[in-house]
Amino acid sequence: MSREKDIAESIIRELGGKENVVSITNCMTRLRVLAKDYDKINYEALKKVDGVIKVNEEGGELQIILGPGLVSKVAGEASKKIGIKLGDAQEIKAAINEKNKTPFKLLLRRIASIFIPLIPGLIGGGLILGITNVATKFNWIADKNLLAMLSLFGSTIFTYMGIMIGMNTAKEFGGSPTLGGILAGIIYNPVLADIKIGGSALVVGRGGIISVLIAAAFASWLEKNIRKRMPNSIELLATPLLTILIAGFATLYVLQPLGGFIADAIGKAVTVAIAGKAGVFTGFILAGTFLPLVMTGLHQGLTPIHMQLIQSTGVTILLPILAMAGAGQVGAAIAVYVKTKSKQLKKIIEGSILVVILGIGEPLIYGVTLPLGRPFIGACIGAAFGGAFEALKVVGARGLGISGIPLAALIEPNKIIYYIIGLIISYIAGFIATYLLGFEDPVDEEIKDTQPFSFDA
């Protein structure tokens, strides 16, 4: 039996058996489960399953952190064993929404559901585009045809991202994905430039992602209300017709201008905060507080802001700053490795450090710095210094992707060196802060059953 099958079977057993699992899906590092009866779950045994880094319960959803690569394989094996479709999360969404009805939390979950499916394309396309930009700058590839093809592969996700977001938004709000895509297409259609409202020509793509989110959500609400009131004999024809017409006019006259106003305000606020006189302080605070933000799930609300900045200015100057959070973890973990006498803790760090350098922070967060307490604070301090430097140099990323070293491929070519220096600053500052703060060195047998984060640790 493969390791992945063994892990999947062990997890299912500790979840209370396959009959106790309602739905199962996964993201980049976590197996996300909804159970019928949470009292049947053996949490302590689940934490001790081979490969499990951490077990969390958030808003009614059980999150089993396994790390990148392993999680997708275990998820596949678990779905086969249980006999349910992987990623079919309608029941899990309904149950989570019922338990987690605060408007703000529901908004964050909706944002995550809209943008998480795009992450593989954003990472793959962004890396291709970043590598192509670097290769062009330094003349590494002489074949212009090859460069054009690589640029095509990398840029396609960003060219049609608005349509995908429109479809995902409509799906999330209970509408028809196709109609959401059509509303997004209206916003980006070149024909807009030939249309005048109030004597002024409309601007193609004005408001970008923000306008798409507003228009697609409105169209979904409108479609559901029209369908409820439409006689069955004409519903199939009338609902999409009226939805497109009404939502289309509403988009041109109201929703796109509103989205444009919000997008402009966001862009200006971010630029003033980071590129202005107080930019270094802003970068210090943003990077230093990003890890706690991730743990609360609030970071999900930043995704549309990143995308909007990229569409409106060509880069997001937020992402390089926030990426320093992972670098602070690396420095903190190295300090722990140097000071600890625990062989198990050293083994965890040795097995996780490369993955974190490459942009996946959960193994160190949940396996090392968070359980120990003070090293987590040291990591945040290290991140803050790196973030201040990134803000000082106004480093921008041309796409979204995982942080760490791989993000360098997405940085503006003339500022890659500043991004690398920022990482090194965070490594060093995280190491020094953690070394000075110290920590209570755990006994080896305590490592597997680590305690929750405490400022007194």
Q: How many CB atoms lie within 10 A of CB 413?
A: 15
Enumerate residues 6+ apart whose C-beta is below 8 A from 194: 201
What one-letter code names the amino acid at 73? Answer: K
- Please name which of 302, 201, 205, 312 lies closest in space to residue 265, comparing C-alpha atoms: 312
Q: Active-site residue among 22, 27, 134, 135? A: 27
For residue 103, give both structure tokens.
């408007």
The strand pairing partners of 207, in sequence order, are none
Phi then psi dihedrals of residue 79, to 5 deg: -65, -35
| 292 to 223, 306, 355, 371, 433: CA distances (angstroms) | 39, 19, 20, 14, 17
- Annotation says 380 is catalytic: no
**DSSP, res 397:** B
Around 376, how many Cα atoms within 13 Å sit in the side-chain half-sphere?
24
For residue 348, give both structure tokens.
């965890």
Q: Is 151 exposed, middle or buried (0-12, 13-18, 19+ CB in 10 A)?
A: middle
Give dist(CA 239, CA 225) in Å, integer: 9
Catalytic residues: 27
